[in-house]
């Protein structure tokens, strides 16, 4: 994208759709055709689609041609098992080539893909399989034995369990009522013709992160691939020769939309790292694989900040040309660190499981305002809506929602109609309908907009603090605390208070070389007060070296709050450490 205003003026979703193939003979549009078959049938057949890095060293390249064939085998196997389009296929696998083949094969077959995060404990897995009526589960013998075998009786709809047996010791018997996926793929045919796929056919079922409550199942359709394609170009700047690394696990929407679909549709090479976060390993991956475009998350970036600039400087990162971040507010401090340490700005962007693709972003062709999420994508209308004292969106006499003035905080909302918009919450029509008010989709987040149309995140609707008549976004307070050299991360909540309604309490994680002390506590409160004023700065501050995070990397402020107030913790299925 050379110029934001020009692109926005000329962009239409219909034009974006025309950049894709569609199925032959007008038989609709299918995500897997655009992601792999299209390339396998053309000039990119031998281009590396996946560069898979094994957890303990070793790497394996998979070309577009090979990926097409493997996913064909998987689709044929589903047919042979009597699975029919629309059935739900759950995938619980480490980040390996087998995962990609299962995902794409499922989409080719027109079954519905539901990716699960492999670190989930047994109960969250059971809960999601049950909610999503899982018919097929693809996993490994180790994960099955550890997490599912004892639950199997409680999952009567689960007809087939397919195990990726590659890592099994030879001769070891597979658990009862499971099938050896690799053996079956070997005898399945390598050719598969994708059946007619209506753009509105359900393709993906994604559970949200559960940051604010019980995870919701968001339904997405095959047409979403138009968004995955267009946003990969405008927000991630993907070009055919890029080596792209999305660090999110496909168990979360980012890892599927941008770890699998978008880069494949663009025909680029994706790095797929089976390993977990480790600062030195990550810099090594960026250097050794010559990554050019990197999509990651604030929590990981904050950990890299903590690891120190020397570690970054020890690696040759000159190939890296574009860095983007999503999932949580990106503290301005981290944007500045990117400039100083990587020599590159970090481009924040905003979206949700429900939106299926990036909605607001900072682009390479646009100046970054540190702390801002950027401007709406071409094809996306975003606004800020006025909310009343009961947090309800205010409607005008014509029934349309009232938009907030520039600089005022309110509900971040999007005009419905982009291709990757969710088509429903699983089995919760009422909740889905409640998201659409006065002509807009309500995101549940609070934001404000500046004169130039940049959006600034204030907080999640549920996290925002109301104190003595002020509306305080935790992000602003957290970012300010992080400007202090001792602080690497902060989580801020509102605590009920008889006088002010709520007072601000901060939980901070200290960097190496700093110890909790009363002096430091007072210093940090004073530091925040000087910058934010007494009304907004935390009244209370506690040290916490282990802030609760979701497995997708978000601070769970609702848990900080529940723990502080001695309330029930609610759904903790996505909390880190619940394995
Ligand atoms: P749940 O809906 O179950 O509580 P969740 O909202 O965290 O979980 P996701 O859909 O994974 O689940 O996350 C989307 C949310 O993440 C957004 O609504 C927003 O609150 C936050 N988010 C994403 N990107 C950004 C960003 N760039 N800046 C600030 N917040 C962001
Ligand atoms: Mg949400």
Q: What is the pLDDT of residues 213-231, one digit of tens each?
A: 778 899 999 999 999 999 9
Residue nearest to atom 17 of ligand 1 (CA): 352
Q: Which ligand is nearest to the CA of 460?
A: 1
Determine the Cα–Cα distance for residues 346 and 323; give it in Å rounded to an integer: 5
Note whether 162 and 136 are within 8 A (CB): yes
DSSP H helices in 253-369: 253-256, 262-265, 279-288, 298-307, 309-313, 332-337
Please report the pLDDT score of residue 360 as a whole number.
98
pLDDT band at 470 (very low <50, low <70, confident <90, very high): confident
Task: Establish whether residue 33 lines the binding site of ligand 1, counting it when its CB lies within 6 angstroms of any ligand atom.
Answer: no
Q: Quote the mean pLDDT of the chain.
A: 95
Determine the Cα–Cα distance for residues 234 and 524; give it in Å rounded to an integer: 40
DSSP 394: P
Note whether 131 and 217 are within 8 A (CB): yes
Residue nearest to atom 23 of ligand 1 (CA): 327
Look up residue 172 and give its two tokens: 């070891």
Helix axes 64-80, 97-109, angle to 10 degrees: 60
- Taking alpha carbons only, the member of 362, 329, 326 closest to residue 344 is 362
Least confident of 207-221, 320-334, 426-440, 552-566: 207-221
Determine the Cα–Cα distance for residues 335 and 369; give it in Å rounded to an integer: 9
Task: Establish whether residue 326 lines the binding site of ligand 1, counting it when its CB lies within 6 angstroms of any ligand atom.
Answer: yes
Q: Which residues pair with 28 in a beta bridge?
A: 197
Answer yes or no: is pLDDT of 4 > 50.
Answer: yes
279 alpha carbon – ligand 1 mean position (Å): 24
pTM of the model as a whole: 0.94
182 alpha carbon – ligand 1 mean position (Å): 37
Strand-pair category, 48-53 with 455-460? unpaired
* Coil vs helix vs strand at 122: helix
Note whether 347 and 376 are within 8 A (CB): no
- Ligand 1: atom nearest CA of 215 is 3
pLDDT band at 578 (very low <50, low <70, confident <90, very high): low
Q: Please state the rounded mean pLDDT for residues 411-431.
A: 97
239-243, Cβ contacts within 8 angstroms, sequence gap of 24 or more: 239/266, 239/268, 240/44, 240/266, 240/267, 240/268, 241/268, 241/292, 242/266, 242/268, 242/269, 242/292, 242/293, 243/51, 243/268, 243/269, 243/270, 243/271, 243/289, 243/290, 243/291, 243/292, 243/293, 243/319
Residue nearest to atom 11 of ligand 1 (CA): 209
Task: Establish whether residue 255 lines the binding site of ligand 1, counting it when its CB lies within 6 angstroms of any ligand atom.
Answer: no
Determine the Cα–Cα distance for residues 373 and 355; give it in Å rounded to an integer: 15
Look up residue 373 and give its two tokens: 């999420």
- Taking alpha carbons only, the member of 574, 512, 500 closest to residue 536 is 500
Look up residue 230 and give its two tokens: 């267009």
Task: Starting at the earlier edge strand, list the strands of the sheet with 540-543.
Answer: 487-497, 501-510, 540-543
Task: Establish whether residue 256 lines the binding site of ligand 1, counting it when its CB lies within 6 angstroms of any ligand atom.
Answer: no
DSSP 448: E
Widest pairwise Cα distance in the chain: 73
H or E segment to which residue 565 belongs: helix 557-565
Determine the Cα–Cα distance for residues 532 and 525; give it in Å rounded to an integer: 10
Domains of the chain: 1-25+224-379 (3.40.50.12780), 31-47+64-194 (3.40.50.980), 381-414+428-462 (2.30.38.10), 465-565 (3.30.300.30)
- Ligand 1: atom nearest CA of 212 is 4
Determine the Cα–Cα distance for residues 69 and 185; give it in Å rounded to an integer: 10
117 alpha carbon – ligand 2 mean position (Å): 17
pLDDT band at 579 (very low <50, low <70, confident <90, very high): very low
**Ligand 1: which of 250, 326, 327 to mutate, judged by most atoms within 8 Å of the beta carbon?**
327
Determine the Cα–Cα distance for residues 107 and 256; give it in Å rounded to an integer: 12
Please report the pLDDT score of residue 391 as a whole number.
86
Determine the Cα–Cα distance for residues 146 and 130; give it in Å rounded to an integer: 18
pLDDT in tens, 366-388: 999 999 999 999 999 999 999 99
339 alpha carbon – ligand 1 mean position (Å): 25
């Amino acid at each position: 994208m050379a110029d934001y205003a020009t692109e926005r003026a000329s962009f239409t979703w219909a034009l974006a759709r025309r950049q894709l193939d569609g199925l032959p003979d007008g038989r609709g549009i299918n995500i897997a055709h655009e992601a792999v078959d299209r390339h396998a049938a053309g000039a990119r057949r031998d281009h590396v689609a996946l560069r898979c890095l094994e957890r303990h060293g070793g790497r394996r390249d998979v070309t577009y041609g090979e990926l097409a064939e493997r996913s064909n085998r998987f689709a044929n196997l589903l047919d042979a098992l009597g699975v029919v389009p629309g059935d739900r296929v759950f995938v619980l696998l480490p980040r390996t080539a087998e995962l990609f083949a299962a995902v794409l094969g499922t989409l080719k077959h027109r079954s519905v893909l539901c990716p699960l995060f492999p670190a989930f404990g047994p109960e969250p897995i059971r809960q999601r399989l049950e909610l999503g009526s899982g018919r097929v589960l693809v996993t490994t013998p180790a994960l099955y034995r550890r997490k599912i075998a004892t639950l199997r009786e409680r999952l009567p709809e689960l007809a087939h369990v397919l195990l990726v047996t590659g890592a099994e010791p030879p001769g070891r018997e597979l658990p009862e009522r499971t099938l050896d996926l690799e053996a079956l793929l070997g005898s399945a045919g390598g050719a598969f013709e994708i059946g007619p796929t209506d753009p509105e056919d359900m393709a993906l079922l994604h559970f949200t992160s559960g940051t604010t409550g019980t995870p919701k199942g968001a339904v997405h359709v095959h047409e979403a691939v138009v968004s995955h394609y267009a946003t990969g170009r405008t927000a991630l700047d993907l070009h055919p020769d890029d080596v792209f690394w999305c660090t999110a696990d496909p168990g979360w929407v980012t890892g599927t939309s941008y770890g699998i679909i978008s880069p494949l549709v663009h025909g680029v090479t994706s790095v797929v790292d089976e390993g977990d976060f480790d600062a030195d390993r990550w810099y090594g991956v960026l250097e050794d694989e010559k990554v050019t475009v990197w999509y990651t998350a604030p929590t990981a970036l904050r950990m890299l900040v903590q690891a120190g600039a020397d570690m970054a400087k020890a690696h040759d990162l000159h190939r890296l040309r574009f860095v983007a971040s999503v999932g949580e507010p990106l503290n301005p401090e981290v944007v500045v660190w990117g400039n100083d340490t990587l020599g590159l700005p970090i481009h924040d962007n905003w979206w949700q499981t429900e939106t299926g693709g990036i909605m607001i972003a900072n682009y390479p062709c646009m100046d970054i305002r540190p702390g801002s999420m950027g401007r709406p994508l071409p094809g996306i209308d975003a606004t800020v809506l006025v909310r009343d004292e009961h947090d309800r969106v205010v409607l005008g006499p014509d029934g349309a929602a009232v938009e907030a003035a520039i600089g005022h905080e309110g509900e971040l909302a999007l005009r419905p109609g982009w291709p990757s918009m969710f088509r429903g919450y699983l089995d919760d029509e009422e909740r889905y309908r409640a998201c659409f008010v006065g002509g807009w989709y309500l995101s549940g987040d609070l934001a404000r907009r500046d004169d130039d149309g940049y959006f600034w995140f204030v907080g999640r609707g549920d996290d925002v603090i109301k104190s003595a008549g002020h509306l305080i976004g935790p992000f602003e307070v957290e970012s300010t605390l992080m400007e202090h050299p001792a602080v690497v991360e902060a989580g801020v909540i509102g605590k009920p208070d008889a006088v002010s309604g709520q007072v601000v309490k901060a939980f901070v994680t200290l960097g190496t070389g700093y110890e909790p002390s009363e002096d430091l506590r007072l210093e940090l409160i004073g530091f925040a007060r000087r910058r934010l004023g007494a009304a907004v700065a935390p009244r209370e501050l506690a040290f916490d070296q282990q802030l609760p995070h979701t497995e997708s990397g978000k601070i769970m402020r609702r848990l900080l709050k529940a723990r502080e107030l001695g309330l029930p913790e609610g759904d903790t299925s996505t909390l880190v450490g619940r394995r």
